[in-house]
Amino acid sequence: MTDVADRVRALLAVVLPLPGHGRTADRWAALAAAARDDVVVGRLLEAHSDADAILAEVAGTRVAIGQWWGVWAAEPPSPVVTAERTSAGWVLVGTKAWCSGAGLCTHALVTARVDDQRPMFAVHLAHPGVSVDLSGWAAAGMSRSATGSVTFERVPADPVGEPSAYLGRPGFWHGGAGVAACWLGGAEKVADTLRRAGPRLDDHGAAHLGAVDAALAAARWSLRSAAAEVDERPEDVDRAKVRTHRLRATVEAAASQTLDHVGRALGATPLATDPSHTQAVSDLLVYLRQSHAERDLAALGRLVADS
């Protein structure tokens, strides 16, 4: 995990362009490249850059050099984090699940319950009331992402925008598209094992390589087209919702096809003998499940039907 942390910190020194400001394609290309090098590094970089975009859009600020941010916004039925207003300001109390970069990040944007709302707060994680538990992660995939539960014991926090600001802005959907860029990078890394075997492939293997190439090319083109649309109309939240659902479905399908075709073409050998390939496959399998599968497709269908 130390190696991952060092590589992420090195990338944090390069500030990515904000989405919707004319260089969205460059932003997503950088995320894809980081994930192609290492899926976990790309995933952690994506969260940090998303925090930067959220702060810029909602609060008019940016992350500072030397800071490493997470975005911890999962809202399962339990455990929960609540925010309480005190005479000195807001404090967070409770446990937040599914926190990637726990124990590595210096700061985080955290959603918390205030009555029936879920506003977002900025938290400095050096506070002694912050404790991390990584013991619940049993999978090999994404195990280096330091994903676990973080408990807050009356930790001071600063509200970020109005309670509806995080989910109600078009940038929420631009951020979701950034996740798809990382999925694509992870799929390219898995596909690289098959590409390197290209000269030795029989017709069976060549057909699998052709299928992978076509699927990933379509995903790359979709990403570039989506980036151009974001820059053209960054404030159109309705178009952003549809676009991001379409893009994530397209890239997820391409990544799933890649995992299947590479495995069928090469068999068990690289999974048993190539640690880098095995890690890439297991990381991507877990990371893709950040998609909500048929629920996302149903949401897209409803959006299209209502348009």
Residue 213 pLDDT > 90, yes or no?
yes
Mean of per-residue pLDDT scores for the chain: 97
**pLDDT score for 307:** 83
Structure confidence at residue 97 (pLDDT): 97
| Per-residue pLDDT at 2 | 78
Mean pLDDT across 119-137 = 97
Domains along the chain with CATH numbers: 1-67+169-307 (1.20.140), 70-163 (2.40.110.10)
pLDDT tens digits, one per residue of 152-205: 999 999 999 999 999 999 999 999 999 999 999 999 999 999 999 989 999 999
3 state SS for the chain: CHHHHHHHHHHHCCCCCCCCCCCHHHHHHHHHHHHHHCHHHHHHHHHHHHHHHHHHHHHCCCCCCCCCEEEECCCCCCCCEEEEEECCEEEEEEEEEEECCCCCCCEEEEECEECCECCEEEEECCCCCEEEECCCCCCCCCHHHCCEEEEEEEEEEEECCCCCHHHHCHHHHHHHHHHHHHHHHHHHHHHHHHHHCHHHCCHHHHHHHHHHHHHHHHHHHHHHHHHHHHHHCCCCHHHHHHHHHHHHHHHHHHHHHHHHHHHHHHCCHHHHHCHHHHHHHHHHHHHHHHCCCHHHHHHHHHHHHHC
Q: Between these two residues, 164 and 2, which has the higher pLDDT value?
A: 164
Percent of the chain with pLDDT over 70: 100
pLDDT at residue 1, as a whole number: 67
pLDDT band, residue 5 (cuts 50/70/90): very high
% pLDDT > 90, the chain: 98
State yes or no: pLDDT of 86 exceeds 70.
Answer: yes
- Residue range 282-294: average pLDDT? 96
**pTM for the structure as a whole:** 0.97
